C-alpha cells in the first residue's frame, strides 16, 4: 500500500487507520507525489488551507475502484489542528468503509487507551457529551462506547488510590519454556536463553537493591509489585524466594496494596513455587489457559493441556490464593464459537477472581503469521469477544481495564474483568499512567511520571538477557536518571 501524505502532519494517525483495514499490508508512507499509484491499494490524504477554510481530502483506490471524500474545516475553529486530523480520519475511514465494506467497532479511534480518553472527555463535558463524541465524531459503536464508559468509571475509583509520591515496581522475567506461535515477544532460542537464568537472577537482585535505595532516598511510596514476562513461574522456588527476599529488604513494603506474579503457563506451576510465592506475600497470581480447547493449544504451541490448567488452578487454591486471574484469547486457530463457549463454561466452574480476555494480535514476527497459519478467517472473533462480555457480566464480572494493540483481529480490544474488589490494580496504574513504574530486568522500561502533572519520561533497559548481563553496569548508570528526574519536582 502507498500512503501519500500531502501537506499535513497526520501521517502517523492515517497510517494507523490504514493498518486497521489492511493489517497485513506493507505500508509505504511518502510525501513524494511523483511516486506512481501503481500499488493495489493507493491512498492519498491532503490538506489545502485557503483564506477562511481548509479543504481536507482523502482518496482511496483499491485495484480499479476509487472513492474520494472532501470536507471543510474553518480556519478559526478552536483546536484547529486536532479538528483537521479528526476530519481527515473520518474522510479516510469513510472511503475505506465504502470500498472494503468493513465497519470497525472502534471507528477512527486507533489509540491504545480508549477509557483514558473517555475519562478525559467526561471530566471536560460530562458523560452524555462524552458518549456522543465517541459515537458521532469518533464513529465508535454503541457497544464499545458503553464498554469505554464502564471501564472509565471503574478506573476512576482505583486511580484515586494513587498519590503523587506513589510508584509501582515491575520485575521482568523474559524467559519462557517454549515460544507460543502468536508471540513476538521472545525472539531468541528458549533453550539457550534459559541457561542465562541463574546469572540473570543474580544481577536482577543487584538491580533491585540499587533501585530500592533510590526509592528510599527519594521517600517514595511503593503501591504495587508486578512480575511479568515471559513466564515468571519459570523461576525455581529458590529463585522466587531469592528475588522476593531481595525486594523485601530493598523496599519499604508496608504500604503495598497488591503483589502480583503473572505465573502464566500452567505447565511451569508447581506446589513448591506456589508456596514460595505465598511465603513472600504474593497476593495475586495469573494462571493463563488462553483456551480450554486442546486442539487450539496444540496449534499455538503451548505445550500444555487444559487438564494441566485445571490442576494448576486447584493447586493454587489449595495453597491459599484467593485472587487468581486467568487470561483467555479470542480468535485462536481452530477455536470455534462452540469451543470458546466451552472455555467460558470452564471459567464459570473454576470461578477465578479475574478474567482477562485478549483478542488475538497477528504480530508480524510471530510464527503464526510467518507460517501463514494466521491467515485463517477470524470472522467469528468479534462474536467471541461479545460472548465473553455478555457471559462474564452475567456471572458477576465487571470490565475494569482495557487496552488496544495494533494488528488485533477485527481491530478489537483486550479487557480485564474482575469480581468486585478484585481488580488488578497494577494494570490500571500502569495503563492509565497514574504514577511512575520502576522496572527492573531485561526489556524493562522505567516510566517516570511527573508527580503532580502528566509529563512522562522513559528509561530503557537492554532488551535481551544476554545484553542485560554483559552490559549490566550501564543499566545501573541509567538508573541515575530517576533521582535527577524527581529533583525537578515537589511531591
Q: Contact positions toward ligand SF4, by CB under 6 A?
A: 176, 179-180, 183, 185-186, 229-231, 264-265
Residue 179 C-beta: closest distance to ligand SF4, Å: 4
Q: Which residue, among 439, 350, 342, 427, has the nearest Cα to 384 in the 3D structure? A: 342
Q: Which residue number, 331 or 451, has a Cβ lying nearer to ligand SF4?
A: 331
3-class DSSP state of 250: helix
3-class DSSP state of 257: coil
Q: Which residue number, 186 or 280, has a Cβ lying nearer to ligand SF4?
A: 186
Residue 405 C-beta: closest distance to ligand SF4, Å: 13
Residue 465 C-beta: closest distance to ligand SF4, Å: 13
Q: What is the SS3 string spanning 315-372?
A: HHHHCCCCCEEEEEEECCCCCCHHHHHHHHHHHHHHCCCEEEEEECECCCCCHHHHCC
Q: Which residue number, 164 or 301, has a Cβ lying nearer to ligand SF4?
A: 301
Q: How far apart are CA 351 and CA 487, in angstroms?
A: 46
Q: Which residue number, 41 or 287, has a Cβ lying nearer to ligand SF4?
A: 287
Q: Which residue number, 231 or 461, has a Cβ lying nearer to ligand SF4?
A: 231
| CB crowding 155-188: b at 16 or more within 10 Å, else e | beebbebbbebbbbbbbbbbbbbbbbbbbbebee
Residue 296 C-beta: closest distance to ligand SF4, Å: 14
Tell me the CA distances in angstroms from 460 to 113, 216, 229, one per residue in order: 22, 21, 16
CB 43 within 8 A of CB 59: yes
Q: Which residue number, 230 or 289, has a Cβ lying nearer to ligand SF4?
A: 230
First-to-final CA distance of the chain: 49
Residues in the chain, overall count = 491
Residue 173 C-beta: closest distance to ligand SF4, Å: 10
Q: Which residue number, 91 or 368, has a Cβ lying nearer to ligand SF4?
A: 368
Beta bridge partners of 67: 60
Q: Which residue number, 166 or 427, has a Cβ lying nearer to ligand SF4?
A: 427
CB 186 within 8 A of CB 179: yes
Q: Which residue number, 90 or 306, has a Cβ lying nearer to ligand SF4?
A: 306
Closest residue (Cβ) to ligand SF4?
183
Tell me the CA distances in angstroms from 488 to 143, 166, 363, 448, 455, one per residue in order: 43, 16, 39, 12, 12
Residue 410 C-beta: closest distance to ligand SF4, Å: 20
Q: Which residue, among 84, 10, 72, 86, has the nearest Cα to 43 in the 3D structure? A: 10
Residue 172 C-beta: closest distance to ligand SF4, Å: 11
Residue 306 C-beta: closest distance to ligand SF4, Å: 16
The helix (H) or strand (E) run that includes residue 306 is helix 306-318
Residue 150 C-beta: closest distance to ligand SF4, Å: 27
- CA 447, distance to chain mean position in Å, is 15
Q: Which residue number, 230 or 382, has a Cβ lying nearer to ligand SF4?
A: 230
Residue 186 C-beta: closest distance to ligand SF4, Å: 5
Amino acid at each position: 500500500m502507498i500512503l501519500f501524505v500531502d501537506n499535513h502532519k497526520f501521517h502517523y494517525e492515517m497510517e494507523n487507520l490504514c493498518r486497521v483495514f489492511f493489517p497485513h499490508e506493507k505500508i509505504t508512507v511518502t510525501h513524494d507525489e511523483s511516486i506512481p499509484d501503481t500499488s493495489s491499494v493507493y491512498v492519498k490524504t491532503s490538506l489545502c488551507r485557503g483564506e477562511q477554510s481548509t479543504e481536507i481530502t482523502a482518496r482511496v483506490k483499491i485495484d480499479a475502484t476509487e472513492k474520494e471524500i472532501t470536507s471543510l474545516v474553518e480556519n478559526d475553529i478552536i483546536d484547529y489542528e486536532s479538528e483537521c486530523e479528526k476530519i481527515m480520519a473520518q474522510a479516510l475511514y469513510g472511503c475505506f468503509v465504502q470500498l472494503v465494506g468493513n465497519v470497525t467497532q472502534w471507528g477512527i479511534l486507533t489509540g491504545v487507551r480508549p477509557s483514558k480518553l473517555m475519562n478525559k472527555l467526561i471530566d471536560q463535558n460530562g458523560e452524555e457529551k462524552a458518549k456522543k463524541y465517541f459515537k458521532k465524531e469518533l464513529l465508535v459503536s454503541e457497544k464499545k462506547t458503553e464498554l469505554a464508559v464502564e471501564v472509565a468509571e471503574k478506573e476512576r475509583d482505583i486511580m484515586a488510590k494513587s498519590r503523587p509520591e506513589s510508584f509501582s515496581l515491575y520485575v521482568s522475567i523474559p524467559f519462557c519454556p517454549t515460544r507460543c506461535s502468536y508471540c513476538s515477544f521472545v525472539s531468541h532460542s528458549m533453550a539457550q536463553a534459559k541457561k542465562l537464568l541463574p546469572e540473570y537472577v543474580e544481577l536482577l537482585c543487584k538491580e533491585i537493591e540499587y533501585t530500592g535505595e533510590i526509592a528510599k532516598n527519594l521517600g517514595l511510596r511503593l503501591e504495587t509489585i508486578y512480575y511479568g514476562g515471559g513466564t515468571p513461574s519459570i523461576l525455581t522456588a529458590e529463585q522466587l524466594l531469592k528475588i522476593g527476599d531481595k525486594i523485601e529488604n530493598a523496599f519499604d513494603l508496608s504500604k503495598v496494596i497488591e503483589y502480583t506474579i503473572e505465573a502464566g503457563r500452567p505447565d511451569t506451576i508447581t506446589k513448591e513455587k506456589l508456596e514460595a510465592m505465598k511465603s513472600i506475600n504474593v497476593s495475586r497470581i495469573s494462571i493463563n489457559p488462553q483456551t480450554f480447547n486442546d486442539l487450539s493449544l496444540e496449534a499455538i504451541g503451548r505445550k500444555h493441556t487444559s487438564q494441566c490448567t485445571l490442576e494448576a488452578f486447584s493447586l493454587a487454591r489449595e495453597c491459599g490464593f484467593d485472587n487468581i486471574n486467568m487470561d483467555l484469547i479470542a480468535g485462536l486457530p481452530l477455536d470455534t464459537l462452540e469451543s470458546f463457549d466451552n472455555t467460558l463454561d470452564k471459567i464459570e466452574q473454576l470461578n477465578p477472581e479475574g478474567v482477562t480476555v485478549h483478542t488475538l494480535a497477528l504480530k508480524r514476527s510471530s510464527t503464526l503469521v510467518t507460517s501463514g497459519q494466521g491467515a485463517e478467517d477470524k470472522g467469528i472473533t468479534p462474536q467471541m469477544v461479545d460472548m465473553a462480555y455478555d457471559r462474564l457480566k452475567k456471572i458477576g464480572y465487571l470490565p475494569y481495564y482495557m487496552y488496544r494493540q495494533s494488528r488485533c483481529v477485527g481491530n478489537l480490544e483486550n479487557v480485564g474483568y474482575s469480581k468486585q474488589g478484585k481488580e488488578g490494580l497494577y494494570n490500571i496504574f500502569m495503563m492509565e499512567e497514574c504514577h511512575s513504574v520502576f522496572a527492573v530486568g531485561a526489556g524493562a522500561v522505567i516510566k517516570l511520571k511527573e508527580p503532580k502533572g502528566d509529563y512522562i519520561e522513559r528509561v530503557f533497559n537492554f532488551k535481551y538477557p544476554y545484553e542485560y548481563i554483559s552490559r549490566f553496569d550501564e543499566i545501573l548508570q541509567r538508573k541515575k536518571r530517576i533521582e535527577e528526574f524527581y529533583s525537578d519536582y515537589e511531591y
